[in-house]
Amino acid sequence: MAEDSVIFAYLEAGKKSTAVALDPRLTTGKPDTVWLFNLARGEFVEYRRDIVETKMRDFRPEEQALYEELKDAFTKARRHFQPKTTPRIDVPERPAAPAAAAAEEAETAEALPAEDPEAAVTELDEELLDLDPDLQSVEDLDEELD
C-alpha cells in the first residue's frame, strides 16, 4: 500500500473532533463524498467532501503520538475495508413473459367498464360505411347507385 498518497489529518468538528485518514484511491461512487477513516469510531465513514476538506488540519507537534496511533489503526482497517459503492447503471426493463402479459391483459380487461356490443358494432359500421344519416342500410346505398 502506498501510504504516501494517504492524507493523515485532524478533523476539527467540536466535540466530535478526531484524527482521520483519507485515502484518495477509495471512492464512494459520488463526487461530493469521501471515505475517511475515523480513529474515534475505528471505522471508515462516508463524509461530505465540501464540509470535511475545510475542517481538516495537519497534526501539531504535540499530537505526534495521535498521528502514530492513527497510522497504525488505518493500516489495519484498510486491509479489510471494501468500499460499498453502488454501481450507477441504467438497466432496461424486461418485457413481461407471455403468461404474465396475458394475465396482465386479462386484469386490464376486467378493470375496464363493459361496453355495449351493439353500440360498438353500430359505431364501427358508421365509420366503415360512411353512411349518410338519411340512409338506413347498405341496401339503400346500392339503390342510390343504380
Dump pLDDT digits (tens) for 40-97. Answer: 999 999 999 999 999 999 999 999 999 999 999 999 999 988 877 555 556 666 665 6
Distance of alpha carbon 133 from alpha carbon 128, whole angstroms: 14
- Read off the pTM: 0.55
pLDDT value of position 143: 53
Cα–Cα distance between 25 and 22 in angstroms, integer?
9
**Residue of higher predicted confidence among 88 and 38:** 38
Contact 3, 47 (CB under 8 A): no
Q: What is the pLDDT of residue 1?
A: 45
- Write out pLDDT tens, residues 101-145: 677 776 666 655 556 666 666 665 555 555 555 554 545 545 555
Query: In terms of pLDDT, which residue wins out, 102 or 22?
Result: 22
